[in-house]
Amino acid sequence: MLTVDPASRARAGILHLPHGDVQTPDFMPVGTNATVKALDPDDLRALGAQIILSNTYHLYLRPGHERIARLGGLHTFMGWDRPILTDSGGFQVVSLGPLMKIGEEGARFRSHLDGGEHLFTPERSIEVQEALAPDVAVAFDQPVMPGSTEPREVLRAMERTHRWAVRSLRAHTRADQALFGIAQGGIDPELRAASATWIRSLPFDGINLGGLAGDETPEERNRAVEATIAALEGDGRVRYLMGLGSPLDIIDAVVRGVDLFDSVLPARVARNGQAWVTGGRINLRNARHLDEEGPVDAACDCSACRRFSRGYLAHLFRADELLAYRLLTIHNLRHLSALMGRVRTAIQSGTLAAELPQLRASAGGPGTPRLGDDDEPEEAPPRGAMRPRYADGGIVRTGIKSRAQEPEGR
């Protein structure tokens, strides 16, 4: 069942999965290590999360997919009974930079935890995801930095991703698990269209837009999305843009026909004190909030805004209290979840075009004004999530025992 907005390519639909239905468009909170940082499953249900993402690479390394399978699979392991999607590990492996070597067989890499050597192939990635037992698994791919990769390399990675898509499909055996394929092609509209056409021809259950939400400009991303969606015209399968977390960017992609999103961004900035509120963003580490009686956002119905003042949260952040991270992560994820709900309702009722200016104005988060926080340093832009994290580190490679930085989700 798919409602298409009459004035744009935006769609509203229902994704049927073994652990429940997901109303789209929607945003998936990221639980990298089988937990959305600082939250438990009751928090996630209360803020309206319909589906979460977990990272194959991290769970394969620690605690190990076979252990999670023995403990009943990912749902039982983390106490979450709604749908779960796992990524393929391709993004995390490729972002290991010099710790990784890629070939036709797969990607050989050293663990960021202990330097141990591993080989990820399409078959291995699917085997790990079948053991983890999420509702949705994703084909193994080779993403590249969208804005700064040589065209020849973009083409080579795209063609390899296509061959790996076929191998992922052949390796997948679980009838109770959906498998999504990934279209690549960098920011070249012709390559994006070619990749989408190829992936569309395969019997995947959904189609991911990969290799975006990296170092490209919003204009480059929008053109890449438009070329991809044009090549998917008439295809009813769900479309998922991996790694996008800014509310305004998400609205732009929904209007162009994308249904599903994920990012660590709302949770990560919350841990730094940044609250996404109606019409902008504030930083609760700023002293000006210490005396404020009102909630973080008067328009928000989350458990933090219903019970606590900005002054209290500002105090918690300044005292480095753990509750600060939980409350503000709940708020930012609820802010985005509620926004997605408004977008869905507008598409379903055919009023998206009329409501779009207001939705954009109230979106909050990156790209919206800072509200009275002029003395705060600018946050790093949300782009750059795909920047190789070990470019000049190579900590594990050189044998030093200190832990390399964890390659986070996007």
Q: What number of CA atoms fall less than 13 Å from residue 123's CA on the CB side?
A: 5
Query: Nearest approach, Cβ of 312 to Zn ion (angstroms)?
Result: 13
How far from chain centre, in Å, is Cα 273?
20
Segment interacting with Zn ion, rule: CB under 5 A, options 48-56, 222-230, 303-311, 381-389:
303-311
Residue 300 as a binder of Zn ion (CB under 5 A): the answer is yes
**Cα(410)–Cα(407) distance, rounded to whole angstroms?**
9
Using CA atoms, how far apart are residues 179 and 6, in angstroms rounded to an integer? 30
Judged by CB, which is closer to Zn ion: 284, or 305?
A: 305
**Residue 328 found at the interface with Zn ion (CB under 5 A):** no
Residues 6+ apart with CB under 8 A from 24: 11, 12, 13, 14, 15, 238, 259, 260, 344
Between 172 and 331, CB nearer to Zn ion: 331
Q: Which stretch binds Zn ion (CB under 5 A): 110-118, 208-216, 301-309, 378-386?
A: 301-309
Select from 182, 253, 305, 338 the one that contacts Zn ion (CB under 5 A): 305
Q: Which of 9, 331, 383, 410 binds Zn ion (CB under 5 A)?
A: 331
Strand partners of residue 24: 13
- Is residue 87 part of the annotated active site? The answer reads yes
Exposure string (b/e) for 376-401, b if CB count within 10 Å is 16 or more?
Answer: beeeeebbebbebbbeebebbeeeee
Phi then psi dihedrals of residue 278, to 5 deg: -55, 120
Q: Is there binding between residue 133 and Zn ion (CB under 5 A)?
A: no
Does 302 sit near Zn ion (CB under 5 A)? yes
Q: Which range touches Zn ion (CB under 5 A), out of 172-180, 224-232, 324-332, 349-357?
A: 324-332
| Contact region with Zn ion (CB under 5 A), list: 147-155, 266-274, 296-304, 312-320 | 296-304
Spot the catalytic one: 87, 135, 141, 297.
87
Q: Answer yes or no: 262 catalytic.
A: yes
> Would you say how long the chain is, in residues?
410
The SS3 call for residue 187 is coil
Q: Is 270 a binder of Zn ion (CB under 5 A)?
A: no
- Is there binding between residue 61 and Zn ion (CB under 5 A)? no
**Catalytic residues, which ones?**
87, 262
Binding-site ranges for Zn ion (CB under 5 A): 300, 302, 305, 331
